[in-house]
Amino acid sequence: MKLSGAAIAVRALEDERVPFAFGIPGTHNLELYDALAPSRSVQTVLVTDEQSASFMADGVWRASGRMACVNLVPGAGLTHALSGIGEALLDNVPMLVLGCGIRRDSHRAFQLHDVDQAALAAPLTKATFLPLTGQELYDQIREACRIARSGAPGPVFVEVPANLYLFVHEVTLPKARARADALLPAAPEEPFMNRAVDILRRARRPLLYVGAGAAGAADQVRRVAELLEAPVATTFQGKGILPEDHPLFLWPGFGAAAPPFVREVVASCDATLAVGCRFGEVATGSYGLEPPRPLIHVDIDRDVPGRNYKADVAVLADAGAFLRVLLDRLSGDARAEDAELRSRIGAGHTRVWDAWVEDVGGEGVTPPHLLRAAQRIFGPDTVFTTDSGNGTFLAAECLRLEGPGRFLAPVDYSCMGYAVPAALGAKLGRPEAPVVALAGDGAFLMTGLELLTAVHEELGVAVLVLRDHELAQIAQFQAVAMNRKVASRVHDYDVRGLAAGMGVDFLELASDDQVEEALAEAERITREGRPVLVDVAIDYSRKTYFTQGVVKTNLHRLPLKDQMRFVGRALKRKVTG
């Protein structure tokens, strides 16, 4: 059949069941946007900045499991979007980056937006493609989507020369519009499986540590935990894989960046089963933990098992495939409930919350009180998005989630500006779910104007701007390590005025006694399909366990003379003012 390149690209997106194309149209892809207009399955979403486009596509996947498309003009469109593409790569989020390119048929130099886009995209994507014919355009978009979803997921870049969109091509397309399947998940090899089973049978109390790679196997994680009677810690991205009201749920992390009760329980364990996690710097609190030995490390990415912590058994396998085999092999070895363990975990959580609520009623809004109330008022299906910094770690520690896909945070690439556009993507991906963005006041300045998109698309999201007038996480590190804050003060700005300028409902939340009323009103507004901006006078005076642990870990890692120098400098500044 004969189709224009733009129609071919749309057909490929439809066949891959890509639900959204986020971007800003430009001269090079006008034909593509025209072809997208009549599509019944691919919705175009106009953004205010291409960085937000990639964050929105990220949010769609994390909240709904559907891969979205970032639709970019050459040059500036790609460079603007690279932050979100990098976040997707390091946080294993599949994404189709559909970039447009210069004309390849004119052979002219110095064309508009002409840069080496493949060279820019290659370090931040799993693969890059440059189709030169209509048939290659269809086939390579389909292949890019398959690669993005397969193995350790991530973004894939397809640069489409503008001339391909313009002209008609002879192509052969499949009759059935079925999405291309990802590569079959890797199954564990028998020798490694045998060693893992042997270790777990011998262990008196194994620790189960799970990351986002196990999100699709939440039921198997719970069953393995109960079968082994194993306490469960997660990475930040793994929050909710085991429901966090489960008596075996320990904490999002362990080691120096966790509360004392977590460290005590982990110290009582004599093996670790780590599944779908990488032991990355953020998740480990700057490598401030040591997993109980022996360590079984399972991941689908061959570069992961044993990379940061030497594995006694390194298993290359899909998390679900491994856990299903494990359940079958250990089905006759179920252990009785450990009442003492469950009691220690429950009492530990109670002590943490009792300490947190001691702060309620002071100056400003207490984070645990705010987040607990938000969960109760917006409901258990609420998706929370955060920004790089203190808001992420507070939410990770304070939220108690019932399932995966409810905590969307920029972790390993750690981009500021993530929360607002990711919330919009989450709401588009799961329109039935309440969505709350926890945006730092510094990060909000980067992408807060994306609420214009929320107004246009009628997305009922609540954006809580956590206002302490500082880049909170960095300011805390500076205060603790240096006793001086430099360039971390956020200039004051009028949140109410910004809301009015964008046509967004506005609420002010200045103290703990206003939390219930303000959040109830925010929830009512979002149910009516309108976004709302809430100016929260957040009280960050109590540091997170994460912040305290990271500072101690990094200080103690220094040579003694440098420890003394850092401590001495901070003390001197405190004394001299």
Regarding whether 309 and 238 lie in a shared domain, the answer is: yes
Retrieve residue 58's tokens. 């990220």
Which of 59, 21, 57 has its CA nearest to residue 386? 59
Is residue 242, in this structure, part of any structural domain at all?
Answer: yes
The ranges of the chain with pLDDT < 70 are: 176-185, 480, 577
Which of 378, 327, 375 has its CA nearest to residue 524? 378
State the Cα–Cα distance between residues 508 and 486, nearest whole angstrom: 29
Q: What stretches of 16-157 show up as alpha helix (H) in DSSP?
A: 30-36, 50-64, 76-90, 117-121, 134-149
Regarding whether 112 and 211 lie in a shared domain, the answer is: no
Is residue 559, in this structure, part of any structural domain at all?
Answer: no
Regarding whether 208 and 84 lie in a shared domain, the answer is: no
Q: What local confidence, expressed as pLDDT, does residue 185 receive? A: 67
CATH code, domain with 220: 3.40.50.1220
Retrieve residue 489's tokens. 């003060």
Q: How far is CA 198 from the centre of its chain?
A: 34
Q: What local confidence, expressed as pLDDT, does residue 184 receive? A: 62
- Beta-ladder partners of 169: 3
Regarding whether 235 and 109 lie in a shared domain, the answer is: no
Regarding whether 50 and 94 lie in a shared domain, the answer is: yes
Helix (H, G, I), strand (E, B) or coil at 373: helix
Regarding whether 322 and 391 lie in a shared domain, the answer is: no
Q: What local confidence, expressed as pLDDT, does residue 531 receive? A: 98
Question: How many domains would you assign to the chain?
Answer: 3
Of 141, 170, 199, the residue that ends a domain is: 170
State the Cα–Cα distance between residues 13 and 4, nearest whole angstrom: 14
State the Cα–Cα distance between residues 189 and 257, nearest whole angstrom: 34
Regarding whether 144 and 49 lie in a shared domain, the answer is: yes
Regarding whether 542 and 397 lie in a shared domain, the answer is: yes
Is residue 177, in this structure, part of any structural domain at all?
Answer: no
Query: How far is CA 19 from each of CA 60, 66, 67, 79, rounded to the nearest angstrom?
Result: 9, 7, 8, 24
State the Cα–Cα distance between residues 530 and 516, nearest whole angstrom: 19
Element of type H or E holding 475: helix 472-482
Regarding whether 418 and 331 lie in a shared domain, the answer is: no
CATH code, domain with 120: 3.40.50.970
Is residue 502, in this structure, part of any structural domain at all?
Answer: yes
Element of type H or E holding 506: strand 505-509
Task: Look at the block and give the residue holding tokens 């609540």.
Answer: 462
Regarding whether 336 and 363 lie in a shared domain, the answer is: no
Of 170, 202, 232, the residue that ends a domain is: 170
State the Cα–Cα distance between residues 401 and 379, nearest whole angstrom: 10
Regarding whether 274 and 135 lie in a shared domain, the answer is: no
Regarding whether 200 and 154 lie in a shared domain, the answer is: no
Cβ-Cβ contacts under 8 Å for 358 (sequence gap 6 or more) = none
Is residue 379, in this structure, part of any structural domain at all?
Answer: yes
B/e letters for 106-132, b = 16+ CB within 10 Å, e = fewer, are eeeeeeebeeebeebbeebbbbbbbbe
Phi, psi of 334 (to 5 degrees): -60, 140
CA dihedral 403, 406, 408, 411 (to 10 degrees): -30
Is residue 255, in this structure, part of any structural domain at all?
Answer: yes
Which of 153, 187, 184, 150 has its CA nearest to residue 324? 187
Helix (H, G, I), strand (E, B) or coil at 122: helix
Is residue 426, in this structure, part of any structural domain at all?
Answer: yes
> How many other C-beta atoms lie within 10 A of the C-beta of residue 310?
11
Is residue 350, in this structure, part of any structural domain at all?
Answer: no
Cβ-Cβ contacts under 8 Å for 10 (sequence gap 6 or more) = 32, 35, 36, 39, 42
Domain ranges, residue 453? 359-546
